């Protein structure tokens, strides 16, 4: 049992915190946000220049060749900043799973992602949020169907997509500029660019079918879910910090409001929730790093992710009074991301059901023995 | 980073589980039916402790210099978790909290007569802090110790002195300085009071879940060699012991394996329609919630044990584990009882009791933990100060 990170991971975390915090000054973000959903190309350029985005990509593709946990340090730092860069969609959801394949198109896409081009994955569809059971279909290499909430679809070069090929799951890569792919902007709570993508006989490169396709999409789901949990750790830490700073300054009845036990204890509960989320997220991250894309720890982490985000978001808004929700103050961005991260790839409730089914299967197998 | 037992740690756990089958016998369980012996103290319990001492299981993680096996706090935690889960009334206050404090701080006489005997499974110690008028505000305690030649004479009353009915010593906090000019926690000294001393007495207090005691000290005279701290400097030992106690009382093993037992029970028990209980959505979701929350507690405790091995666990972190763990236990017993249903309220020896009525007893004894070992309000104060650096209202 060893909770220590290698030294490289600490360096990565520090550098990531540095780069992101240099670019999340409220004035700067306000300008970027003025025209609606935005991609912070300037910051993304700096991240790519630092090589941090590719911490876990193989060296052969231009990455640092570190384990999965290394990239999660960067994602957590992003959670503390909540700036719109395509780190999770491009690298975690797409390039990392692609990097496990020995397929020419996949290799090319990973190299492009390492060089800073954007990739994305279309996980969900209108009315169906299970990427392993899509309504989109593929036959003769042609895709038909609709995906939505696809991050950076218009900015991306390649999109990872799952579809049904007859009874089997199919996963492939789509050139976002190909004929038959139409992309329409959506307007999401976070202010991150998200799109509805419609395929009408769109051409696609097949990556995997059947079991291999399930494994590939499962990897994308697992890594993205872990990334959401790690980002949530950053968001929760930051929301709590902001609330502590504010309540230590703000005076009522002649004293700092943090000296009221009701306020301090609510923040202590935020600390406890964050510690709990952190430790179960670390376990899930560790399990994925060690090659398990289907660990129970991941569902447990996502259950905690949703619960902690919800409680901490509400508590930190509350202890601010009106200031917390003022768009001239900086808490609100975290609260919006909190709701996104709570719901994306399954809420606490969805994951509780999944964990419950697993528990039932485990104990029934045990009692059958 | 590797967040799971190593092969050696897993092997230790497995070996211990097998070993404990020879310790937790029907004979012991029968002895524990007596409410006074429920938490240990009977002859079968004492024999089992002696055996574990002789077999080298006690003080597994204590440093070698202190007479332990020196294999580390993580292994000590594995030991505690496993033995608590086995249903053995593990005297964790002695083995995991007071013992190591004594081993670290006590004089040669106590090392020889007490510490060595703890490791042999011969000696048990109770904590004498709380008084009728000193609970959360522990530093206001009134029990007096006055120096008389080479002896100390102790007068006062302690309350909630758990296990006092069979303890060999009381780890006693007494006031040795009443100078109003000094802060009240600066006038307290720690002693070991042999319960065989003249003037010591103990009467039972029956609580919802367990028996505890009031203990009385009437001109109890003990030689200076039973003083454990420097005069007036006992507070550090109190907080040191409490830090350890905090972790012990939220040890996931405390649940006594009851979670797994309820899951297994639900996987073999059918409802009126012949459906296994575990197939009902609300049943398995209740169980899954406990599983997810229990996993977090396990990890928090592992991390604390690991941090002990690698420096020092943060103060706020152990308070967070204490608050989380104690509130989790209360919640968890509720959810498990929901699954078992009204029959879960049948007591151990009742006709129709389920899983030996364990949950009926557990829900009654679980509530102590939220205020015992340093109430959760104070733990939240510690988190606010040491974890979040919030300004404090009180000095
Ligand atoms: C079964 C059992 C076993 C025990 N075993 C032992 C033992 O072996 N040795 C021993 O010394 N003691 C023991 N205790 C005592 C235990 O540690 C105390 O009960 C505990 O410290 C609380 O003290 P109190 O009961 O006097 O409650 P109080 O201190 O009166 O507290 C009552 C309530 O007020 C709250 N409160 C108090 N101060 C504050 C504050 N500053 N801010 C906010 N809220 C506050 C508390 O959180 C609590 O909810 C035991 C108790 C029980 C019930």
Count how many Cα atoms sit within 13 Å of the Cα of residue A299 in the half-sphere of its side chain: 20
Which ligand 1 atom sits closest to the C-alpha of B138? 21
Task: Report whether residue B130 contacts ligand 1, using a CB cutoff of 6 Å.
Answer: yes
The 3-state DSSP class for residue A176 equals coil
The encoded tokens of residue A172 equal 């492939």
Contacts of A258 in chain B (CB under 8 A): 384, 390-391
The answer to whether B44 touches B31, Cβ cutoff 8 Å, is yes
Cβ–Cβ below 8 Å for A286 and B281: no
How long is chain A?
Answer: 369
pLDDT score, position B394:
59
CA of residue B22 relative to chain centroid, distance: 23
Cβ–Cβ below 8 Å for B285 and A3: no
Comparing CA positions, the residue from A348, A306, A352, A342 lying closest to residue B289 is A352
Residue B341 Cα distances to B213, B266, B333, B337, angstroms: 33, 11, 12, 6
The encoded tokens of residue B217 equal 């000290």
Which of B4, B321, B377 lies nearest to residue A1, judging by beta carbons?
B4
**Does the beta carbon of A368 lie under 8 angstroms from any beta carbon of chain B?**
no
The encoded tokens of residue B247 equal 């972790």
Count how many Cα atoms sit within 13 Å of the Cα of residue A225 in the half-sphere of its side chain: 32
Give pLDDT tens digits for A237-248.
999 999 999 999
Cβ–Cβ below 8 Å for B295 and A280: yes
Give the chain A residue nearest B394 (alpha carbons): A259
Which of A2, A280, A297 lies nearest to residue B2, judging by beta carbons?
A2
Count Cβ atoms below 10 Å from residue B179 Cβ, excluding itself.
8
Comparing CA positions, the residue from A162, A190, A15 lying closest to residue A94 is A162
pLDDT score, position A286:
97
pLDDT score, position A355:
98
Give the chain B residue nearest A283 (alpha carbons): B3
Candidate CATH numbers 3.40.50.2000, 3.40.50.12280, 1.10.540.10, 1.10.760.10; the one for domain A7-117? 1.10.540.10
Of B112, B245, B275, B285, which is the active-site residue? Answer: B245
Q: Helices B315-340 and A261-289 meet at what angle, rounded to 10?
A: 80
Helix (DSSP H) and strand (DSSP E) numbers for chain A: 11, 10
Task: Report whether residue B76 contacts ligand 1, using a CB cutoff of 6 Å.
Answer: no
**Cα gap A115→B350, rounded to integer Å:** 71
The encoded tokens of residue B96 equal 């995991």
- Only one residue has tokens 């007036």, namely B232
Q: What's the predicted TM-score (pTM) here?
A: 0.96
> Given ligand 1 and candidates B172, B375, B395, which is best to mutate, with the most ligand atoms within 8 Å of its CB?
B375
* Percent of chain A at pLDDT exceeding 90: 98
Give pLDDT tens digits for A295-323.
999 999 999 999 999 999 999 999 999 99
**Cα gap B27→A12, rounded to integer Å:** 58
Superfamily of domain A214-367: Butyryl-CoA Dehydrogenase, subunit A, domain 3 (1.20.140.10)
Residue B159 falls in which region: left (phi positive, over 0), alpha (psi -120 to 50) or beta: beta
**Which residues in A191-323 belong to E strands, given as ranges?**
193-203, 205-209, 251-252, 255-256
Cβ–Cβ below 8 Å for B324 and A276: yes
Residue A188 Cα distances to A62, A148, A167, A191, A290, angstroms: 32, 11, 33, 6, 34
**Cα gap A269→A314, rounded to integer Å:** 12
Task: Report whether residue B379 contacts ligand 1, using a CB cutoff of 6 Å.
Answer: no
Q: What one-character DSSP code corresponds to residue A124?
A: B
Give the chain B residue nearest A257 (alpha carbons): B391
Q: Helices B315-340 and B258-266 meet at what angle, rounded to 10?
A: 30
**Does the beta carbon of A361 lie under 8 angstroms from any beta carbon of chain B?**
no
**Cα gap B355→B338, rounded to integer Å:** 14
Residues of chain B with pLDDT under 70: 394-395
For the CA atoms of chain B, what is the radius of gyration? 22
How far is the centre of ligand 1, averaged over its atoms, from the C-alpha of B363 (Å)? 19
How far is the centre of ligand 1, averaged over its atoms, from the C-alpha of B126 (Å)? 16
Residue B83 Cα distances to A48, A260, B47, angstroms: 52, 42, 16
How many beta-carbon contacts under 8 Å exist across A and B?
154
The 3-state DSSP class for residue A347 equals coil
Task: Report whether residue B161 contacts ligand 1, using a CB cutoff of 6 Å.
Answer: yes
Give B89's contacts (C-beta < 8 A, 6+ positions apart). B32, B38, B39, B40, B45
Lowest-pLDDT choice from A38-47, A81-90, A193-202, B28-37:
B28-37
Residue environment code for B66-103, b if the CB has 16+ CB neighbours within 10 A, otherwise e:
bbbbebbbbbbbbbbbbbbbbbbbbbbbbbbbbbbbbb
Which ligand 1 atom sits closest to the C-alpha of B163? 8
What are the phi and psi torsion angles at A65 (to 5°)? 70, 20
DSSP B296-319: HHHHHHHHHHHHHHTS---HHHHH
Task: Report whether residue B377 contacts ligand 1, using a CB cutoff of 6 Å.
Answer: yes
CA of residue A108 relative to chain centroid, distance: 23
Comparing CA positions, the residue from B201, B196, B192 lying closest to residue B170 is B192
The residue of B8, B292, B386 whose CB has the most chain A CBs within 10 angstroms, and thus the best one to mutate to test that interface, is B292
Per 3-state DSSP, chain B is made up of helix, strand and coil in percentages (nearest 5) of 50, 15, 35
What are the phi and psi torsion angles at A171 (to 5°)? -130, 135
Which of A260, A268, A359 lies nearest to residue B263, judging by beta carbons?
A359
Strands A181-187 and A193-203, sheet pairing: antiparallel
**Does the beta carbon of B112 lie under 8 angstroms from any beta carbon of chain A?**
no
Q: What one-character DSSP code corresponds to residue A178?
A: S
How far is the centre of ligand 1, averaged over its atoms, from the C-alpha of B210 (Å)? 15
Contacts of A256 in chain B (CB under 8 A): 391
Task: Report whether residue B215 contacts ligand 1, using a CB cutoff of 6 Å.
Answer: no
Strand partners, B154: B145, B220
Q: What one-character DSSP code corresponds to residue A128?
A: B
Contacts of B287 in chain A (CB under 8 A): 356, 359
Cβ–Cβ below 8 Å for B299 and A367: no
Give A144's contacts (C-beta < 8 A, 6+ positions apart). A136, A137, A138, A199, A200, A201, A202
Which of B1, B267, B292 lies nearest to residue A355, judging by beta carbons?
B292
**Does the beta carbon of A304 lie under 8 angstroms from any beta carbon of chain B?**
yes
CA of residue A153 relative to chain centroid, distance: 15
Give B83→chain A minimum CA distance, Å: 20
How far is the centre of ligand 1, averaged over its atoms, from the C-alpha of A209 (Å)? 62
Give pLDDT tens digits for A203-261.
999 999 999 999 999 999 999 999 999 999 999 999 999 999 999 999 999 999 999 99
What are the phi and psi torsion angles at B204 (to 5°)? -75, 150
Q: Is B17 a catalytic residue?
A: no
- Only one residue has tokens 């639900």, namely B266
Contacts of B6 in chain A (CB under 8 A): 1
Cβ–Cβ below 8 Å for B1 and A304: no
Comparing CA positions, the residue from A94, A128, A88, A108 lying closest to residue A216 is A94
Q: What are the helix (H) ranges across chain B? A: 7-21, 26-31, 43-54, 73-85, 92, 99-105, 108-110, 116-119, 235-249, 258-266, 281-309, 315-340, 358-366, 368-371, 376-382
Count how many Cα atoms sit within 13 Å of the Cα of residue A217 in the half-sphere of its side chain: 28
- Only one residue has tokens 């608590």, namely B84
Cβ–Cβ below 8 Å for A5 and B1: yes
Residue A214 Cα distances to A72, A106, A144, A175, A345, angstroms: 23, 16, 19, 21, 16
Task: Report whether residue B210 contacts ligand 1, using a CB cutoff of 6 Å.
Answer: yes
* A231 sits in which H/E element: helix A211-249
CATH class of A120-208: mainly beta
Cβ–Cβ below 8 Å for B393 and A260: yes
Task: Report whether residue B134 contacts ligand 1, using a CB cutoff of 6 Å.
Answer: no
Residue B74 Cα distances to A1, B13, B70, angstroms: 8, 11, 11
Q: Where are the domains of chain A?
A: 7-117, 120-208, 214-367
């Amino acid at each position: 049992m060893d909770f220590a990170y290698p030294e490289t991971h600490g360096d990565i975390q520090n550098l990531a915190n540095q780069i992101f915090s240099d670019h999340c000054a409220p004035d700067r973000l306000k300008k970027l946000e003025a025209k609606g959903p935005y991609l912070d190309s300037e910051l993304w350029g700096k991240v790519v220049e630092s090589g941090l985005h590719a911490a876990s990509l193989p060296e052969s593709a231009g990455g640092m060749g570190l384990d999965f946990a290394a990239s999660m340090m960067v994602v957590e730092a992003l959670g503390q900043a909540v700036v719109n860069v395509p780190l999770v969609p491009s690298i975690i959801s797409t390039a990392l799973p692609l990097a496990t394949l020995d397929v020419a198109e996949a290799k090319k896409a990973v190299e492009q992602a390492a060089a800073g081009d954007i990739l994305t994955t279309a996980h969900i569809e209108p009315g169906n949020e299970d990427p392993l059971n899509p309504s989109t279909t593929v036959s003769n290499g042609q895709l038909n169907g609709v995906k939505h909430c696809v991050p950076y679809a218009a900015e991306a070069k390649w999109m990872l997509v799952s579809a049904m090929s007859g009874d089997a799951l199919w996963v492939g890569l789509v050139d976002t500029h190909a004929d038959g792919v139409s992309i329409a902007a959506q307007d999401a709570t976070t202010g991150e660019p998200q799109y509805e993508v419609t395929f009408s006989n769109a051409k696609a490169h097949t990556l995997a079918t059947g079991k291999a396709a399930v494994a590939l999409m499962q990897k994308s789901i697992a890594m993205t879910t872990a990334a959401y949990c790690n980002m949530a750790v950053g968001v929760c830490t930051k929301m709590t910090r902001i609330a502590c700073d504010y309540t230590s300054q703000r005076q009522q009845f002649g004293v700092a409001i943090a000296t009221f036990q009701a306020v301090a204890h609510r923040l202590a509960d935020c600390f406890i929730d964050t510690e709990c989320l952190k430790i179960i997220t670390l376990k899930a991250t560790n399990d994925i790093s060690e090659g398990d894309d289907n660990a129970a720890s991941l569902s447990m982490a996502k259950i905690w992710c949703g619960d902690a985000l919800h409680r901490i978001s509400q508590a930190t808004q509350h202890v601010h009074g009106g200031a917390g929700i003022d768009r001239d103050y900086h808490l609100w961005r975290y609260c919006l991301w909190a709701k996104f991260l709570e719901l994306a790839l399954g809420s606490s409730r969805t994951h509780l059901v999944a964990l419950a089914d697993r528990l039932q299967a485990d104990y029934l197998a045990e009692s059958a023995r | 980073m590797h967040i799971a037992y190593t092969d050696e740690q897993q092997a230790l756990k497995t070996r211990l589980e097998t070993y404990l089958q020879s310790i937790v016998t029907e004979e012991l369980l029968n002895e524990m039916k007596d409410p006074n012996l429920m938490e240990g103290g009977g002859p079968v319990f004492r024999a089992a402790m002696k055996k574990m001492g002789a077999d080298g299981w006690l003080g597994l993680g204590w440093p070698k210099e202190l007479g332990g096996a020196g294999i580390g706090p993580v292994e000590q935690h594995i030991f505690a978790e496993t033995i608590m889960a086995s249903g053995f009334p593990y005297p964790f206050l002695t083995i995991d909290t007071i013992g190591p404090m004594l081993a670290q701080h006590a004089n040669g006489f106590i090392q020889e007569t007490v510490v060595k005997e703890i490791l042999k499974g011969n000696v048990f110690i109770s904590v004498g802090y709380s008084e009728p008028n000193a609970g959360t505000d522990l530093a206001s305690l009134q029990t007096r110790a006055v120096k008389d030649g080479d002896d100390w004479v102790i007068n006062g009353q302690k309350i909630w002195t758990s296990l006092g009915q069979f303890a060999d010593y009381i780890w006693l906090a007494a006031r040795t300085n009443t100078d109003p000019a000094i802060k009240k926690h600066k006038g307290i000294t720690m002693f070991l009071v042999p319960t065989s001393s003249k003037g010591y007495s103990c009467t039972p207090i029956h609580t919802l879940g367990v028996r505890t005691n009031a203990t009385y000290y009437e001109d109890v005279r003990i030689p200076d060699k039973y003083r454990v701290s420097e005069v007036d400097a006992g507070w550090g030992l109190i907080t040191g012991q409490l830090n350890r106690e905090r972790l012990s009382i939220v040890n996931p093993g405390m649940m006594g394996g009851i979670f797994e037992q309820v899951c297994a029970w639900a996987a073999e028990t059918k409802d009126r329609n012949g459906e296994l209980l575990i197939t009902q959505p609300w049943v398995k979701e209740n169980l899954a919630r406990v599983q997810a929350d229990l996993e977090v507690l396990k990890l928090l405790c592992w991390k604390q044990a690991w941090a002990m091995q690698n420096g020092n666990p943060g103060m706020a972190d152990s308070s967070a584990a204490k608050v989380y763990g104690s509130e989790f236990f209360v919640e968890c017993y509720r959810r498990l009882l929901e699954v078992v249903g009204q029959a879960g309220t049948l007591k151990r020896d009742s006709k129709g009791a389920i899983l030996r009525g364990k949950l009926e007893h557990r829900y009654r004894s679980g509530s102590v933990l939220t205020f015992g070992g340093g109430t959760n309000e104070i733990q939240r104060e510690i988190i606010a100060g040491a974890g979040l650096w919030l300004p404090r209202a009180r000095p």
